[in-house]
Structure 1
Amino acid sequence: MKFSLDILDWQAVAPGINNCADWIQWAQCSGVDAFSGEIPKSAQIPMMAARRMSIGSRFAVDAGLSLLTKHQVDAAIFTSRHGELERTGRILHALAEDDAISPTEFSMSVHNTAAGWLTIISKNTLPVTSLAAGTDSFQQGLLEAQSMLASGASRVMLVDFDGEIPSLYAESVNSEFLPYAMAIILADGDTLQCQRISKNGEIDPLALSQGLQFLRGYLSSSRSFIVSADSRHHWQWTRAL
């Protein structure tokens, strides 16, 4: 499987990394330190709305709004491995304790919460879809974008994010690099080529999600880089000469 595309712009949010220069420095480090520092506040999201959002959704909406102020897009895709797991964990805890479930928690526990918030706050009724595909969520979002571009869309925004992980799942999920969000504007082109390759030896994913693996490779000076997929395949990215 092969495809190519152009990236017109990007934006990312994480604790302690507040601007593009910080992200470029992070990407070019030989080692990758876990995210730390204060949770950045958003100047774009109304306070009352921000207070109702999970951190992951707030980061996703903030990154998306930053790009929508500069670009006209035909559609948006939100990808997340865990979605609103933070809220789901609290709901499950309340059920286990036989406590009342918060209506707000329940209504915002769905996977497309962040996508809905983006259209509401931006007052933009663009088509939006949300998807999850485990560890391969980001790359599957890119394939979804390919179908949209092939169907006539000229620009598609992809927002990849994850929030905080409840302690209940700490043993099965590496949360050193959570929460985060990254957004990219995609268009037809051949600046970047991607193909799925068979796994040949161990490739250290550095505990990063696919989206962050891609961002680190994209912001580096390397002509090609690998994004980990599953036990059998990886995605190889190459810049056009």
Structure 2
Amino acid sequence: MPDLHWTIPVARWSSWPAVAAVAPDVGFIEPMVRRRLSTLSRIALKVAHDCAADKPSVRIVFASRHGELRRTTDILRNISAGEPVSPTSFSLSVLNAMTGVFGIARGDRSAASALSAGAETLGYALLEAHAQYATDTSTPVLLVYADEPADPAYGTIEEEVQGGALAILLDEAPVARLTCSRTAAAAERAPADCAGALFATQSQAVHHCLDTHTGAQWCSEYAVWEWSWDEGAA
């Protein structure tokens, strides 16, 4: 894969930590639906609403490495035990469940997509959001990333996520621009290639860049990912 470099306009962004003292407020979702939501969907909907509450329509790019894997695992356990499976639980177990709930709650029929790409999920979601907005700037694009660790039944997972949620709204009149890059790693990577990679996951690196407005880097076996914040380009 060739090296990739792109920049996205950030109109606003919101995040929800992996460990929070209070539950996210998703009061804009009707109670009957709200009580059936998983923690993952709740935090995803929270940050999405923070960024797009005043927008009549937004295209959504939802990203998650594991998605509703915990709900799916519970369904499989029920099947194994010979217990009935709730149709609602099944319908909410798909990767793009959050986008459907969000669109219905808002009455928004705009396009939505969902993706998962292992440990590089957030990086490729940023690329997808950029591609969609660059193709058509008439409607904002809302990137929502939400994840949680997999059920312990799956054992040790390399580069496991810590959990939490992040939303970034791509729209006109941005407050700043987020520059992103993916550079293929050399077969024999020199130690200096990842000298600034102090983050275990992509989400930690991107959060650091957004919070501190300083550059951040994350390395995989195949590539070096970098992000930087530029208010001067807004």
TM range (shorter): 0.7 to 0.9
Single out whichever of 95-104 and 168-177 deviates more from structure 2.
Answer: 168-177
Partners of 1:7 and 1:184 within 8 A in 2: yes
Q: Which amino acid aligns with 1:220?
A: T
Secondary structure at 1:182's aligned position in 2? strand
Secondary structure at 2:29's aligned position in 1? coil
State how many pairs are aligned.
217
- Is 2:162 the counterpart of 1:159? no
Q: Which amino acid aligns with 1:14?
A: P
Match of 1:205 among 199, 203, 226: 199
Partners of 1:67 and 1:183 within 8 A in 2: yes
Q: Which amino acid aligns with 1:158?
A: L
Give the equivalent residue in structure 2 for 1:29: none
Distance (Å, rounded) in 1 between the aligned partners of 2:219 and 2:41:
24
- Is 2:177 the counterpart of 1:191? yes
Match of 1:9 among 8, 12, 23: 12
Partners of 1:56 and 1:164 within 8 A in 2: no
Partners of 2:6 and 2:180 within 8 A in 1: yes
Match of 2:43 among 46, 59, 64: 59
Secondary structure at 1:161's aligned position in 2? strand
Q: What value does the CA root-mean-square deviation take over the aligned residues?
A: 2.5
Secondary structure at 1:42's aligned position in 2? coil
Deviations 1:131-180 (A, max 9, x none): 111111111111111221222234211000014632313532777832x2
Displacement of 1:212: 3.8
Displacement of 1:93: 1.1
Partners of 1:54 and 1:86 within 8 A in 2: no
Partners of 1:13 and 1:59 within 8 A in 2: yes
Displacement of 1:216: 1.9
Aligned pairs (5 A) from 1:59-208: 59-154=43-138, 155-163=140-148, 165-169=150-154, 171-172=156-157, 177-178=162-163, 180-187=164-171, 191-199=177-185, 200-201=193-194, 203-206=197-200, 208=201
Give the equivalent residue in structure 2 for 1:26: none
Q: Which amino acid aligns with 2:63?
A: T
Structure 1 length-normalised TM: 0.79
Structure 2 portions without partners, runs of 5+: 186-192
Structure 2 length-normalised TM: 0.81
Structure 1 residues 73 and 41: alpha-carbon distance in aligned structure 2, compared to 1, 3 A threshold: closer
Structure 1 portions without partners, runs of 5+: 16-34
Match of 2:211 among 212, 219, 233: 219
Q: Which amino acid aligns with 2:143?
A: L
Single out whichever of 190-199 and 139-148 deviates more from structure 2.
Answer: 190-199
Secondary structure at 1:117's aligned position in 2? helix
Partners of 1:5 and 1:187 within 8 A in 2: no
Q: Identical aligned pairs, as a percentage? A: 25
Distance (Å, rounded) in 1 between the aligned partners of 2:80 and 2:136:
48
